[in-house]
Amino acid sequence: MDELVVVKDLKKWFTVRAGLFTRRKARYIRAVDGVSFSIRRGEIFCLAGESGCGKTTTGRSLLRLEEPTSGEVTFDGVNVFALDRTGLKTFRRQAQIIFQDPYESLDSRMAVFDSVAEGLVVNKIGAGRSERIKLVSEALEEVGLTPTEEFIFRYPHELSGGQRQRVAIAAAMILRPKFIVADEPVSMLDMSTRGSIVKLLMDLQKTMQLTFLFITHDLPLMKYISDRIAIMYLGKIVEMGPSEELIDNPYHPYSQALISAVPSPDPDESMREVKIKGDISLSLEATPGCRFASRCPYASEKCQETEPELLEIRKNRYLACHKMKRH
Amino acid sequence: MPQNTLLDVKGLKMYYQVVGRRWVKAIDNVSLKQLKNENVGIVGESGCGKSSLALSILRLLPSNARIMGGEILFDGTNLLGLPEKDIRRNFRWKRISMIWQGAMNALNPMLTIGNQICEAILVHEDVSKEEAWRRAEELLKLVGIEPSRAKHYPFELSGGMKQRAMIAMSLALNPDLVIADEPTTALDVIVQAQVLDLIKKLQKEFGISLLIISHDVSLVFSIVDRVAVMYAGKIMEWGPTSEIYHSSMHPYTHFLMESVPNIRSKKRPIGFIGGAPPNLLNPPSGCRFHPRCPYAVDVCAKEEPPMMFIWSEHSVACHREDELRSKWYG
């Protein structure tokens, strides 16, 4: 299996404005601070972590929706950050994004047809309205909004949350992309409809040989559907590996805490004790050492001084930790 | 009523009036019983009426809401029969308090958290300002916030800390019942676990009963003793949590459980329920779940199923409960 997306040492720092009249140096929030991973063709890869860990910024930067501070992303062998306007347009046809909130991602004044056909218009696909109606109808059929005549000229407020997300998926699929970034695509939906959207995405993935990057905090769902998972903490990947294996047996103290904190719906399984204290705290200063050290129950002096690298400690299992190396 | 019943909701009906003199039947004949020192959960999807139920118990309904029938007995007193003044003075906050949905935004941004807790104490109890402040600091300490933080404003605290401050406030008057509506939805999972640990610890210490309302099945099921599954303004199934999880009898509960992934179990396909919840202006005839139910038969569209007891603690509202029980559990 070859690699469709390769991310090398990606960084995205946001400048925090120093006061207007002060001479203080500009400071940075290191939202993404040296992230490397690759996504294989046909794979469902997941970036997981708590809010503020940089997972969304990573996804947006690799699509160049956000200009990165440094690093390299290649998509199908092409350097994404070197693309000019035309190149970028071709790239965007192949790489689409689905957002969390279908209430916000669709324009409330645009009918379903206009939202879905927007990509066709931008890319000058389909001659005239009748052909575009045909293409949009096909896309709606693929996402299960049938009979399509009933949906094509409706407005977002007339649709349920699940239906809106289907429209957003149709809009992403109509350009026949190879790669989809899905940022929390089901977290706004009700439990009972969530599964149907997940199934739709999985079916599309199979029939169209799509590659997926899921960005989510929903670890139970990722255990069920993703192939590989990378856990992020404060702008870094701390652990990466096959999803089921990693979630059943995490190595990094942070992954361990994160996974044990997820409640189980089975009341006969007792809650696990959460060993770590405190809350994620964004630091504006670059500190040496491991970013998790201040909360880590196993931290030693070395952890405060040098930052651990993400290393393959076992086949397919990557870990950035000084302490848990010998597994 | 037995001595140990804390809350007894009987046949509650609460409708919202909307434009054109039409009624949204948000809560339609709901009954629920909670014992002292027991935790009860209400799970359901958005718009199923679970938050309206909480507001009814606290008598905090908006002006277009009307109670159409039923009783809410709290420790033997029917709250629906009392004047607002009485509720405010003797029940709300004092005996029944609430942790709001998105509690972090329910705090007043203009007051320090210490002052907000003091306010709650001073309104209900005849104590000096100094004494109230001392208690506020104690409460903050209890929920794991440095007492010196009492002088801080909400914006100076993290989300988890604001939630803790909210919990401190809900405990200020030592209530019997705390209603928590989506208590941890806005929090990250580690902070959520910390807050849950705290709630459980405080509950043991103070003998408080919790009524937790959430769409998050995993969250509710991991802390409550008994659970009510609500759908479209009705309770579909009611029973001990473990039974609801392992041997649910209602098709809605059954498919809901299949749609919830469990991080500690093996990979399996995720279930779902086709269609969407109904509009409660004009709810479906018969069983409100029948348009989405794969087991629906003629009678389901015609007659509303009554709540039937499987045994004294577990009841379900489904016409086909008998058949489905043997189909699913042999």
Domain boundaries, chain B: 5-224, 254-330
A263/B262 Cβ within 8 A? no
Report the range of poorest mean pLDDT among A180-194, A239-253, B5-19.
A180-194
- Chain A residue nearest residue B219, CA to CA: A263
- Chain B positions in Cβ-Cβ contact with residue A262 (cut-off 8 Å): 189, 218, 263
- What number is the average pLDDT over the span A23-40? 86
A279/B160 Cβ within 8 A? yes
Q: Whole-angstrom Cα distance, residue B193 to residue B219?
A: 9
Please name the helix (run of DSSP H) or strand (run of DSSP E) that holds residue B73, with its range, or none.
Answer: strand B65-74
Paired strand residues for A230: A47, A240
The number of C-beta contacts closer than 8 angstroms across A and B is 136
- The closest CB to that of A50, out of B188, B258, B263, belongs to B188
The pLDDT score that the predictor gives to residue B10 is: 96
Name residues 261-320 of chain B within 8 A of A (Cβ).
261-265, 267-274, 276-277
- Chain A residue nearest residue B220, CA to CA: A265
The pLDDT score that the predictor gives to residue B61 is: 92
The pLDDT score that the predictor gives to residue A279 is: 67
pTM reported for the whole predicted model = 0.90
- Chain A residue nearest residue B161, CA to CA: A279
Name residues 117-176 of chain B within 8 A of A (Cβ).
158-161
Q: Is A238 buried (19+), middle (13-18) or exposed (0-12) by CB count in 10 A?
A: buried
Instruction: Read off the pLDDT of residues A264-291 as tens digits, 9 standing for 90 and up.
Output: 999 888 666 677 776 666 666 777 899 9
- What number is the average pLDDT over the span A207-220? 94
Comparing C-alpha atoms, which of A162, A156, A224 is closest to residue A189? A162
B161/A193 Cβ within 8 A? no
- What number is the average pLDDT over the span A47-61? 92
Which CATH topology does B5-224 take? Answer: Rossmann fold (3.40.50)
* B329: pLDDT strictly greater than 80: yes
Q: Whole-angstrom Cα distance, residue B225 to residue A133?
A: 54
Report the range of poorest mean pLDDT among B7-11, B142-146, B207-211, B246-250.
B142-146
Name residues 224-243 of chain A within 8 A of B (Cβ).
224-225
The pLDDT score that the predictor gives to residue B3 is: 66
ipTM of the shown complex: 0.87
Name residues 69-98 of chain B within 8 A of A (Cβ).
none
Instruction: Read off the pLDDT of residues A34-47 as tens digits, 9 standing for 90 and up.
Output: 999 999 999 999 99
The pLDDT score that the predictor gives to residue A19 is: 65
- Chain A positions in Cβ-Cβ contact with residue B277 (cut-off 8 Å): 190
For residue A218, give how far its alpha carbon lies from the nearest alpha carbon of chain B (Å). Answer: 9
**Tokens (6 digits) for A298:** 């196993």
- The closest CB to that of B264, out of A192, A269, A277, belongs to A269
Instruction: Read off the pLDDT of residues B5-61 as tens digits, 9 standing for 90 and up.
Output: 999 999 999 999 998 889 999 999 999 999 998 999 999 998 899 999 999 999 999
Instruction: Read off the pLDDT of residues A135-148 as tens digits, 9 standing for 90 and up.
Output: 999 999 999 998 99
Instruction: Read off the pLDDT of residues B254-302 as tens digits, 9 standing for 90 and up.
Output: 999 999 999 999 888 899 998 888 889 999 999 999 999 999 999 999 9
- In a mutagenesis test of the A interface, which of B247, B272, B279, B289 is the best target, namely the one with the most A β-carbons within 10 Å? B272
AA identity, residue A247:
I
Question: What's the order of all strands across the beta sheet hosting A3-16?
Answer: A27-40, A3-16, A70-75, A78-79
Comparing C-alpha atoms, which of A55, A202, A175 is closest to residue A117? A175
- What number is the average pLDDT over the span B188-199? 84
Alpha-carbon torsion A241, A247, A248, A249, what sign?
A: positive
* A23: pLDDT strictly greater than 70: no
